[in-house]
Amino acid sequence: MAETTVEPLPDPPATTGFRGRVEEFLRSNCPPVGERIDAGHERVDAAKAFQSALASAGLAGLTYPTRFGGAGLTRAHQEEFDEVSRVWSLPTLPLAISHGMCLPMLNQFGTDDQKARFMPANISGRAIWCQMFSEPGAGSDVASLATRAVRDGDEWVVNGQKVWTSGAHYCDYGIIVARTDPTLPKHQGLSMFIVDMHDPCIEVRPLRQISGDSGFNEVFFTDLRIPADWLLGELEQGWSLATAMLMFERVSIGAGGGSFAVDRSPALITLAQETGQAHDPGLRQRLADLWIREQIRRYIGSRIRAAVAADRVPGPEGSIAKLNGAILARTARDVSMSIAGTAAQAWDACDVAGARWATACLGASGASIAGGTDEVQRNIIGERVLGLPREPDPYKGAAWDTVPRS
């Protein structure tokens, strides 16, 4: 079994006065947790307005360099912001991928020109980004993707299809992985690019969900031309970048800040008290288990953010965070349904509380799929942390264009 070592976190620097700034800003710009349910473009507009105000207050992109639109502060400032914001309803969900995945990729792998061009608008919310990996024939096995990018002079020409792209219908830019050399093994012939989502050669088709929302999309590329300098990272290094981005995604889902960091246990405890169920010993134990998982998320998140602040890409701890986050989402769903009962299964437009719990219930299972299924995370943990053998692959090392595909 492989040995793992845990390094102690360094003592954070002082953040004197910062907590007060954050509290004052949030009091003026956010309702407490659970007081608002926005939908559709109202939610996107609210996110952009909030992020713009955050940037104007010097509180956006806290740990990113000032020359690229950030605040140039420390990890300790980010930790303090996350701690204070847990009790406020930040309208930032439409920015989760833009800030939790695309922004770290630009900062970690972008050229200085790419950072200067794209990061300031991303941080301020003027431009929202999406991530495009999955395809109809490449879900958990992303490396099997078939979207092609062919070099033509100073441009790349892209043709193909992506699916399950969150927010593509309202995003301004996206990060895509495409196959640039089909004669190489599937993990070696991939490259990562920046794309303009407003290009007429991109077609976005929303997918209707069980909740009635359309947060996911199919995206089609037909002879899309990308400037050569919009290649992110090195040519044919797309798999290593995709792995890094998937880790950022898992961190965002499992240990992220903003709307992903909201603790559900306080609201559920209040709900149990209001419905006269707070003395049920079984329910009290389930609420305690939920609270414990929320603390686990917090500590994992602290360690991961320390790694990111030190310019290290999260490793398998991202899978640990993501798996815990998925279990946490399902636990919160089950407990909330037990307490709320039918009130969380049918509601009208004026029933904010019922809508909140029902929406959380319908979306909870998605946390076990987005960013890689629970089974994928367990495989990663088993192989990279526990040292277990990898699953056999009969086509390992074979050129992508020689491997049978359905």
* Degrees to nearest 5, angle at CA 381 with 375 and 382: 85
Regarding beta strands 155-162 and 173-179, do their DSSP bridges make them parallel or antiparallel, or are they unpaired? unpaired
Q: 380-384: long-range contacts at Cβ-Cβ below 8 A with a sequence spacing of 24 or more?
A: 380/316, 380/319, 381/316, 381/319, 381/320, 381/323, 384/315, 384/316, 384/319
Burial of residue 255 (CB within 10 Å: 0-12, 13-18, 19+) is: buried
- Which residue shows structure tokens 């089909």? 182
Would the CA dihedral through 60, 61, 63, 67 be positive or negative? negative
What is the residue type of 311? D
Angle between helices 265-274 and 317-340 (to 10 degrees): 10
Cβ atoms of 94 and 213 within 8 Å: the answer is: no
Q: Is 249 a catalytic residue?
A: yes
What secondary structure letter does DSSP report for 391? P
Rounded Cα distance, 360 and 260, in Å = 12
Which phi and psi (to 5°) does residue 265 adopt? -60, -40
* Degrees to nearest 5, angle at CA 92 with 208 and 375: 60
Indicate which residue of 79, 80, 135, 249 is catalytic.
249
Cβ atoms of 148 and 178 within 8 Å: the answer is: yes
Which phi and psi (to 5°) does residue 179 adopt? -90, 120
Rounded Cα distance, 146 and 16, in Å = 52
Please list the active-site residues.
Answer: 249
